[in-house]
Amino acid sequence: MSNVENTLSIIKPDAVERNLDSQIKEMFIKNGFDIIKEKKIQIDKIEAEKFYKVHETKPFYNDLCTYLSSGPIVVMVLEKENAILANRELMGSTNPKDAKEGTIRKKFGLSIDKNSVHGSDSLENAKIEIDFFFKS
C-alpha cells in the first residue's frame, strides 16, 4: 500500500549563505522527492522561537533561534513515499560529524548548530510545521 507523505524541509541560513540551495534541492529531487511548495524568506527571532518551541528548555535554544533568524532560509514542502523518514535519512545525523556518507549534513553541514537543513521528525510535527509556514 502506498504511503505518500508531506514533510517540511528548511535550508538553513548557513547553507543559503553559501549558495547551496540549488545543490541541496537537486539532492531531494535525485532521491525521489517532489518539491510541492517552496519559498525563500527571513523570519524574525519571535517566529523562530515559536517554530522551535519544543526545544525551549534546551541550553542551545536561544542561540538556535538567533541563528535561524539570522539570514534568509528556503522552506519547502517535500512529497514522497514515507517522506518524513526518507528526509531524515537523507539529511543525516544532527551532528554532521556523525552523519553518514551521501547525506546532506555530511556533505554540507559545518557544525552541530550550523547543520544546513531542518526536517520534520514525525507526521504530527510535519503537519504543524507545514501549517506554520504555508497556512494561507
Site map 17..56 versus ligand IDP, x via CB under 6 A: --------------------------------------x-
- Which are the catalytic amino acids? 118
- If one asks whether residue 89 binds ligand IDP (CB under 6 A), the answer comes out as no
Minimal distance in Å, beta carbon 4 to ligand IDP?
22
CB 38 within 8 A of CB 102: no
Number of H helices, E strands in the chain: 7, 4
Measured over the CA atoms of residue 98, residue 86, residue 115 and residue 60, the dihedral's sign is: negative
CB–CB of 95/107 below 8 Å? no
What is the spatial distance between Cα 27 and Cα 69, in angstroms, rounded to a whole number?
24
Based on the shown chain and the rule CB under 6 A, indicate whether residue 121 belongs to the binding site for ligand IDP: yes
Residue placing its CB nearer to ligand IDP in the complex, 64 or 78: 64
Which residues of the shown chain bind ligand IDP in the complex (CB under 6 A)?
A: 55, 60, 64, 94, 112-113, 115, 118, 121
